[in-house]
Amino acid sequence: MERAEELHKSLIVIDGHCDTALDLAGMSFTDPNMEKRDFFRESDEGHLDLPKLRKGGVTCQTMAVYTPDELVERSYEHTIRISNHIDGLYNDDVMPALCGMDIRTAKRENKTALLKSLEGSDAMGTSLETLKELYDRGFRMSGLTYNRINALGRGCGTPGTSGLTPFGKRVVAEMAKLGMIVDVSHLSDEGLEDLIDITERPVVASHSNSREVENHRRNLTDRQLEAIAGTDGLIGLTYPGIFIHSDPAKVTFERLMEHLDHMLSVVGPRHIGLGSDFDGFTAPYGVCMSSCAETGKITEHLVGRGWKDNEVAMIMGENWLRIIDEVVG
């Protein structure tokens, strides 16, 4: 659709999550045998690099730092190492996203912005001072947990009934003071309830889909979608096959759009964004989008479904930008 293509080119497009930083450091989440990938060269390896981002019209890409289970005891050192790799990408064409204005500047100057995020807060241990240091190193969003338990609370991959710890609640308050976005993807259902009870800022599920469409623990119930929307936050549509359909043969772009359409029917266009999880999932579970170069297909779908241009703009990036403006500045 020509109109959708022209609209997509005009949009600020923001993706709220990928694991590509590990690939660039030679620690691929999806392929332990992969050597370091060159961010600036288009490659058949991996889902995301700068040429593909530009083909997909992505203005700002969130680069998450994930700590594997075997490195939890050294999560701080690991996080600093990956953070330094991200810092090494900045040049005349790639810039850090430390606030909303940086993303607007990137769009205006035809650059690509990178926003740093923590996938789980293991790196801060039990220290609010370390949280402040990570903020000073450019991190502007953090998941409270990965699937496991940490000092902040229980992740959704660990059996139990506990939610946030007292320290986790202190971290939420401190993140609000610093200007860091709280990410609930991977948090237990009980932890999400605890967070909703205490937060005074918008919260996000950076990469989660609909549990009504696919009953997976990492997806969100309609009630949870509404609770996040109630904070004026957002849910980032995510692309791993296992969250889209339990049968890899039924993982398609059309099925992904069923998640998108359902979530929009529950919370409306103000509370949905993108959260690809590119380079964080593998083909055996099914592939709905081969790379970030295909991001414009979502705009085409939304236009085809009759959403207004301003609503499409919200979903593709303006909702992320609104929350970044409010929480980060």
The CATH code of the domain that includes 182 is: 3.20.20.140
pLDDT value, residue 31? 82
pLDDT score of 1 more than 80: no
- Which pLDDT band, with edges at 50, 70 and 90, does 29 fall under? confident
Over the chain, what is the mean pLDDT?
97
pLDDT value, residue 137? 98
Q: What is the mean pLDDT of residues 45-57?
A: 97
Q: What is the mean pLDDT of residues 60-67?
A: 98
Question: How many independent structural domains does the chain possess?
Answer: 1
Domain assignment of residue 146, given as a range: 2-328
- The 3-state DSSP class for residue 317 equals helix
**Contacts for 134-137: CB closer than 8 Å, 24+ residues apart:** 134/79, 134/83, 135/178, 135/179, 135/180, 137/80, 137/83
Q: How far apart are CA 16 and CA 203, in angstroms?
A: 13
